[in-house]
């Protein structure tokens, strides 16, 4: 099942904490040894640090042996006001010597791709996503960004184009209004909640659009067999979701299945979902994720979850 597991490289861009070059390389080595061959990054992740580290690793592998995606929409430009600060306000423990500038137009998208290829040290990526247009200006992003991506695909610069968003409504609009190949949806089709199931996934299935499910642990709520402190959408976890998580954990325990095993495998049961993408900078967590993907989950577990109203 590891061919359906992608590695998300935000963590090796110093997401929330500093990660050494050695530790970043070690987790990538672990991913490769475990059979993972799909990698996703973005300029946003550590102001280019993730791309540099991932590229240094992948340059040593045969180019046709892996698939690589990155993102556009945020240009990384020098910060003229840099005074030895950090980018922790944006979640990354890196110097804020550069800043992000929203630019979904054709020139900005092409410039962003060229800069990513330079940081990666590679001559191509396979998939290019418009990153978080719902965070900046969705109307402008879809109006300018999707045609710009289509131009790059038509020119043969990338094989696939898509959007990476948190919002189901934004993803639906992108599929309806653009000619895209893939949607990366974060946290909206998981064992805990499935708002993408009503409209987005059937729409993607009808149109032949691949879906990548990310943030399938819902900010850590589903990442452990024991209750853990977690956040939800960057805030406190609503009590009803705490209760739902515990009910999921209890049903999984009845069948001897780890909660994170069910969390990783559940999205893949929908025919529209091609892969789940998870990220970590810890080799122990990466090994655990691979083991969860390979674990056998009895059909009776899914049937019981349905019977108890915990999944559709």
Provide the annotated active-site residues.
Answer: 45
Phi-psi region of 210 (alpha: psi -120 to 50; beta: other; left: phi over 0): beta
* b/e burial code for range 103-117 (CB count within 10 A of at least 16 → b): bbebebbbebbebbb
Phi, psi of 173 (to 5 degrees): -60, -40
Phi, psi of 77 (to 5 degrees): -125, 155
Q: How many other C-beta atoms can be found within 10 angstroms of the C-beta atom of residue 176?
A: 11
Residue 298 tokens read as: 């009895």
Are the CB atoms for 27 and 280 separated by under 8 Å?
yes
CA distance 196 to 149: 24
- Between the two ends of the chain, the Cα-to-Cα distance in Å is 23
């Amino acid at each position: 099942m590891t061919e359906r597991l992608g590695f998300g490289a935000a963590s090796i861009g110093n997401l929330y904490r500093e990660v050494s070059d050695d530790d970043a390389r070690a987790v990538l080595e672990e991913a490769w040894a475990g059979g993972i061959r799909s990698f996703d990054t973005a300029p946003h992740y550590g102001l280019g640090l993730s791309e540099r580290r991932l590229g240094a690793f992948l340059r040593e592998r045969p180019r046709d042996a892996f698939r690589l995606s990155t993102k556009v929409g945020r240009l990384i430009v020098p910060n003229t006001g840099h005074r030895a600060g950090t980018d922790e306000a944006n979640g990354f423990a890196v110097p804020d010597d550069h800043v992000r500038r929203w630019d979904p137009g054709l020139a900005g998208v092409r410039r962003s791709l060229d800069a990513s290829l330079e940081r990666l040290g590679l001559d191509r990526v396979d998939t290019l996503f418009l990153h978080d247009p719902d965070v900046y200006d969705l109307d402008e992003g879809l109006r300018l960004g999707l045609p710009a991506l289509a131009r790059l695909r038509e020119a043969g610069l990338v094989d696939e184009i898509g959007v990476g968003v948190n919002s189901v409504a934004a993803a639906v609009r992108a599929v309806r209004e653009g000619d895209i190949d893939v949607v990366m949806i974060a946290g909206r089709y998981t064992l805990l909640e499935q708002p993408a199931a009503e409209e987005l996934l059937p729409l993607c299935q009808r149109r032949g659009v691949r879906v990548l499910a990310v943030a399938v642990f819902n900010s850590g709520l589903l990442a452990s067999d024991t209750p853990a402190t977690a956040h939800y959408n960057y805030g406190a976890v609503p009590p009803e979701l705490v209760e739902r998580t515990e009910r999921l954990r209890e049903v999984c325990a009845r069948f001897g299945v780890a909660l994170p095993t069910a969390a990783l495998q559940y999205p893949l049961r929908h025919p529209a979902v091609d892969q789940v993408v998870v990220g970590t900078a810890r080799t122990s967590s990466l090994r655990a994720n691979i083991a969860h993907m390979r674990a056998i989950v009895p059909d009776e577990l899914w049937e019981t979850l349905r019977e108890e109203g915990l999944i559709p």
